[in-house]
Amino acid sequence: EDQVTQSPEALRLQEGESSSLNCSYTVSGLRGLFWYRQDPGKGPEFLFTLYSAGEEKEKERLKATLTKKESFLHITAPKPEDSATYLCAVQRDQGAQKLVFGQGTRLTINP
Amino acid sequence: NAGVTQTPKFQVLKTGQSMTLQCAQDMNHNSMYWYRQDPGMGLRLIYYSASEGTTDKGEVPNGYNVSRLNKREFSLRLESAAPSQTSVYFCASSARSGRWGEQFFGPGTRLTVL
């Protein structure tokens, strides 16, 4: 069974304090790994797609990386507006159009 | 462009009542999805429609039905609501295969079943 586990569940940082969020996955034949951001009371917003181990994607203060077993979302010098829940999802190679989501990491950046 | 819209935003039902959640997208996307989000459980796929005229079950389809009315609209129906269906429901859409993992979500419907 496909599984996605995100850690930590919650993370508090000071503004400017860099850190990483982890997404570990178990899936038979990874087709893609996706990162989303979700603000309170809103729907998730797509951030990145990663397809193969070694791939990296960047957007502003965020950088996502992928290995064969996990993905990291690195946050460099975060600002309070980066506070959100970050969701990771995987698509398996076989089967229909289904994403399996992790439970998310709730990130709070204090000014 | 409005993106993905959902109605209603909030709803309270009594056990056994029925209702339909509406979803529409104006991005000309082929695929549409219904998810539920519960604390500590993440997003779980209820049903999806890969293209107009097709629907398929997701991870948690029991107690729900869907209709892909046309390319723009995808509705979710609860025939006999149960307290276990209290949740936040999200509709999403995505473009054709190759990019369908990049999904655009609506604002959600917060449903409480008493």
Task: Give B6-22 pLDDT, tens digit per residue.
Answer: 999 999 999 999 999 99
Within 8 A of A87 by CB-CB distance, chain B residues are 42-43
| Number of other CB atoms surrounding residue A88 within 10 Å | 32
- Whether A34 sits inside 8 A of B102 (CB atoms) is yes
- DSSP3 helix / strand / coil % (chain B, rounded to 5): 5, 50, 45
Backbone angles phi, psi at A9, to 5 degrees: -70, -40
Confidence category of residue B97, pLDDT binned at 50, 70, 90: low
Within 8 A of B58 by CB-CB distance, chain A residues are 98
Within 8 A of B50 by CB-CB distance, chain A residues are 96-97
Chain A residues with CB under 8 Å of a chain B CB are: 4, 31-32, 34, 41-46, 49, 87, 89, 91, 96-104
- Rounded to a whole number of angstroms, the distance from the CA of A14 to the nearest CA of chain B is 25
Say how far apart CA B26 and CA B97 lie, in whole Å.
18
Closest residue of chain A to B39, computed from CA coordinates: A103
Strand pairing category for A56-59 and A30-38:
unpaired
Nearest to B50 among A44, A97, A100 (CB): A97
- How much of chain A exceeds pLDDT 90, in percent? 83
- Whether A97 sits inside 8 A of B105 (CB atoms) is no
- Rounded to a whole number of angstroms, the distance from the CA of B103 to the nearest CA of chain A is 7
State the average pLDDT over residues B65-84: 96
Q: Are B82 and B42 in contact (CB under 8 A)?
A: no
Beta bridge partners of B60: none
**Which pLDDT tens digit goes with each residue over A50-101?**
999 999 999 999 999 999 999 999 999 999 999 999 999 998 766 567 889 9
Q: Are B1 and B93 in contact (CB under 8 A)?
A: no
**Start-to-end Cα distance in chain A:** 41
Within 8 A of A43 by CB-CB distance, chain B residues are 4, 90, 92, 105-108
Structural tokens at position B35: 């998810």
User: Which residue in A66, A99, A100, A106 has the most chain B C-beta atoms within 10 A of its own C-beta, making it the best mutation to test that interface?
Assistant: A99
Structural tokens at position B12: 């309270």
